[in-house]
Structure 1
Amino acid sequence: MSIDMEAVILDHLGKLAPGKSASSEEVARAADNENWRRLTGHVRSTARGLARQGKIVVLRHGKPADPEAFKGVYRLRLPTTEEQAAGPAPIAPAED
C-alpha cells in the first residue's frame, strides 16, 4: 500500500480550526491507525518539503522552525492568513 503522505498531511491539517496544529503522531495515525509508528519518518520528511514550499508551518515550542534544521518533538499547522500575506517569515533557529 502506497500512502500519499502529502495529501494526508494537508487533509488532516485542513480539518483543524484555523491556527491549530497537529502532532506527527496524529498525522501518521490519520494515514494508518494500526501501523502509524513506521510512518513517522515519512511524515517528517514530507513535512519538510511542504514547509519549504510554504504550504505548512513546522512548529517547535509553538514557534515556526527552520524546516531544514528542526529536531525533536514538533507540530504542524497550515500558515495563518497573516503569514500568507507577509510571505516567508524569519525562522527561529533550531533548538535541541
Structure 2
Amino acid sequence: MTPRTPTTAGTRERPGEDALAETLLRLVAERGPDKTVCPSEVARALGGPHPDGWGPLMQPVRRQAVRLMKEGRVAILRKGRVVPDPDDFRGVYRLSLPR
C-alpha cells in the first residue's frame, strides 16, 4: 500500500457541471420509473468511494438537481413526495425521473 503524500493527496480534478448533470441523468434513467437515486450515488460515481472524493461533490450535485428539476428533467423527492419548490427544501432527498 502506497501512503498518500501531500503532493498526491487531493490532486483529483473536480468534475464539471456538465459531468455532474450527465451522471445524475444517467443514473436516474438507469434506475427507471418509480425508482429513486440517492444524491450520494451521483457523487460517488464521480468522486470515488472515499468521502474525501465524493463529499465535496454533494453541494454541486444538489445545485445540478435543482437546475434539472426546474428544466423538468428530474424530480427531487422528500419523504416520497416531489418537493414543491426546488429552491427551498431541506434535509434528506432522493432523485427520480419526473412523473
* Counterpart-to-counterpart distance in 1, 2:67 and 2:96: 14
- Length-normalised TM-score, structure 1: 0.77
Describe the superposition over 1:1-40 as per-residue Cα deviations: whole angstroms up to 9, x where unpaired: 3332111100111110321001111111112213111100
**What 5-or-longer segments of structure 2 have no aligned partner?**
1-12
CA distance, structure 2, for counterparts of residue 18 and residue 56 of structure 1: 11
The equivalent position to 2:35 in structure 1, one of 20, 37, 46, is 20
CA distance in structure 2 between the aligned counterparts of 1:17 and 1:78, rounded to whole angstroms: 7
- Identity of aligned pairs, percent? 35
Give the number of equivalent residue pairs: 80
Rg larger in structure? 2
> Post-superposition, which runs of at least 4 consecutive aligned residues in structure 1 deviate over 2 A?
none
Which runs of no fewer than 5 residues in structure 1 stay unpaired? 81-96
TM-score by length of 2: 0.75
Output the aligned Cα RMSD.
1.1
